Amino acid sequence: MRSLFARIFVWLWLAMLSFAVLLVVSSPFFTRSRASLERWQRNVEEHLSQRAEEVATRIAQGENWQVPPADHHGRFRPLPVFVMRPDGSPVDGPEPPSEVVELARRIGRTSQTVSERSGMFHMVGRATTAPDGSPLIAVSAARRPPRLVDLLDPAGLSWRLGVLTALVGIVCYWLARQLAAPVAGLQTVARRLAAGDLAARVDPRVEARRDEIGTLAREFNTMADRIDTLVSAQRRLVRDVSHELRSPLARIRVALELARRRAGSEAIPILDRLEAESDRLDHLIGQLLELSRLESGGLSGGTEPVDLAELATEIAEDAGFEASSREVAVIVDSPGPVVVSGHREALRGAVDNVVRNAIAYTPGATKVRIRVEAQAGWATVTVSDCGPGVPEQDLASVFEPFFRVEEARERGRGGAGLGLAITARAAALHGGSATAANRAEGGLEVILRFPAQGNPVGCS
């Protein structure tokens, strides 16, 4: 059982039920004055009297007086009926206990029927006469005190145990809920926080508890507040710095254009290089702003039906111009329209980042494949290349901002480690996911999953 609630409930229920059953079952044994003991004694005395009378009658009539061994009554098995002479010596059968011998001698002197409890025995003795005229005494005996099972009343015990089981189960269920519910709530909040919901907090009622769970809830909320503050400050810094860089970058572009007009032909290569670097910086700033917008959950405008197959075809055509210089073919494979509900530009950016990343790392004269299909209510876009792939331990990190598998190579190709981070966040905002895996035949495969149109999971 993996559920904490189930484990607490089962163990509490079994422990309390076992203890309660033990008390119910054993209480007659320890409380000798109870009606169950008296009822048992009456039943035993009645049965012993019948056995002694039956044996005495058989002896007087000259019949076989041995009572069959299987003869028993209720839930107890009496000892064999002892037949003795007035001096206490047995006529036949096993040697009788001393208490039985003493009772037989007294009956031999008085010739009266006697019922007696002595030592460990409950005895009933009756005098009789054999056909030859010799006096004999028949003593029927049973051990006392009775065994525990002798005192139990199955009819009454069964319904008591049934009611007890139900009551104990209800109490244990309530106790288990009280113990496990706060932990389950804390688990839910932790999952929300891990998924990026920085506003997730533990219920104030749990936080107000004065036990270890309440302390844990307060510590968790303190941690969540700290994380929220740090992440918000980081996002605000990135956003503010990106905005602030736009103005000097615009002035640099203007200065470059003026310098191009005044400089001679020998300065043109240098100015071209400066313009390329400013374009790269502008692209980086744009990516930072886009990532900041996505991480804040902001997607402008409403959702609309988007055909991912059509979108992938448009992206392949646009990226084909860049890929053709290295003889890389971008191929789209789709059985037909695959429609999702979402923001078209955010979805375009998510897929485009993956495709351009694949083009950058696949060798020349190879292919980048985009496969679009619908599977069990989900739309998947799979982009595969023939590049070197990613070390297994880094596959989960490629979607983190600024992560580079090989920093020098990444910089040489102009990437800043933001494209796949934007892709992952855009997929998450559409209720989907982004994963990466190395292909067996070589290369990297990035899989984007989105809820297909009609799936209840939608954009967030």
- Do 353 and 411 fall within a single domain? yes
**pLDDT tens-digit readout, 333-343:** 998 899 999 88
Alpha carbon distance 253, 231 (integer Å): 33
Distances (CA, A) of 424 to 154, 301, 319, 354: 67, 20, 20, 10
Domain encompassing residue 50: 4-143
Flag whether pLDDT at 458 surpasses 50.
no
Q: How far is CA 290 from CA 149, 193, 423, 438, 447, in A?
A: 79, 22, 10, 28, 21
Q: Per the structure, how many domains does the chain have?
A: 3
The alpha helices in 31-123, defined as continuous H runs, are 35-60, 98-110
Which H/E stretch holds residue 380?
A: strand 378-384
More confident site: 401 or 74: 401
**Domain-embedded: residue 321:** yes
Query: Is 87 a residue whose pLDDT tops 90?
Result: no
pTM: 0.51
Last residue of a domain, one of 272, 298, 324: 298
Is it the case that residue 409 has pLDDT exceeding 50? no
Which CATH number belongs to the domain containing residue 38 in this structure? 3.30.450
Q: Residues 93, 96, 97, CA angle at the centre, nearest 5°? A: 160
Q: Where residue 211 sits, what CATH number does that domain have? A: 1.10.287.130
User: Can you tell me the distance from the alpha carbon of 264 to that of 275, in angstroms, rounded to the nearest whole number?
Assistant: 16
Rounded CA-CA distance 108/281 in Å is 125
Q: Are residues 310 and 283 in the same domain?
A: no
* 3-state SS, residue 137: strand
- Of 322, 317, 296, 381, the closest CA to residue 347 belongs to 381
Structural tokens at position 22: 């033990």
Residue 259 is assigned to a structural domain of this protein = yes
pLDDT winner (highest mean) among 118-132, 156-170, 369-383 = 369-383
> Quick one: pLDDT at residue 219?
93
Last residue of a domain, one of 143, 162, 180: 143
Residue 177 within any structural domain of the chain: no
Position 110 confidence tier, pLDDT thresholds 50, 70, 90: confident
Residues 312 and 404 occupy one common structural domain: yes
Per-residue confidence (pLDDT) for residue 435, from 0 to 100: 94
341, part of any domain: yes
Do the domain assignments include residue 15?
yes
Question: Do the domain assignments include residue 459?
Answer: no
Can you list the alpha helix ranges (DSSP code H) found in 131-211?
148-151, 154-194, 204-207
Which residues are catalytically annotated?
243
Question: For residue 278, what are the CA distances in angstroms to 246, 264, 289, 349, 353?
Answer: 11, 21, 16, 21, 20
- One domain, residues 64 and 200: no
Residue 134 has pLDDT above 80, yes or no: yes
In the structure, what pLDDT confidence band is assigned to residue 150 with cuts at 50, 70 and 90? low
For residue range 10-54, list pLDDT tens digits in order: 777 777 777 777 766 655 544 444 565 567 677 778 888 888 888
pLDDT at 393 over 80: yes
Mean pLDDT confidence for 88-114: 85
Distance CA 319, CA 455 (A): 30
Higher per-residue pLDDT: 244 or 320: 320
Under the banding of pLDDT at 50, 70 and 90, the label for residue 371 is very high
Spatial separation of the C-alpha atoms in residues 227 and 212, rounded to whole Å = 22
Residues 264 and 319 in one domain: no
311 with 445, same domain: the answer is yes
**Residues 213, 114 share a domain:** no
Residue pair 353/407 in contact (Cβ under 8 Å)? The answer is no
Are 252 and 202 contained in the same domain?
yes
451 within 8 A of 379, measured Cβ to Cβ? yes
Weakest-pLDDT range from 164-168, 319-323, 354-358, 391-395 = 164-168
Supply the pLDDT for residue 71.
47
Q: Is the pLDDT of residue 175 over 70?
A: yes
Question: Could you tell me if residue 414 is inside a domain?
Answer: yes
| Residue 69 confidence (pLDDT) | 45
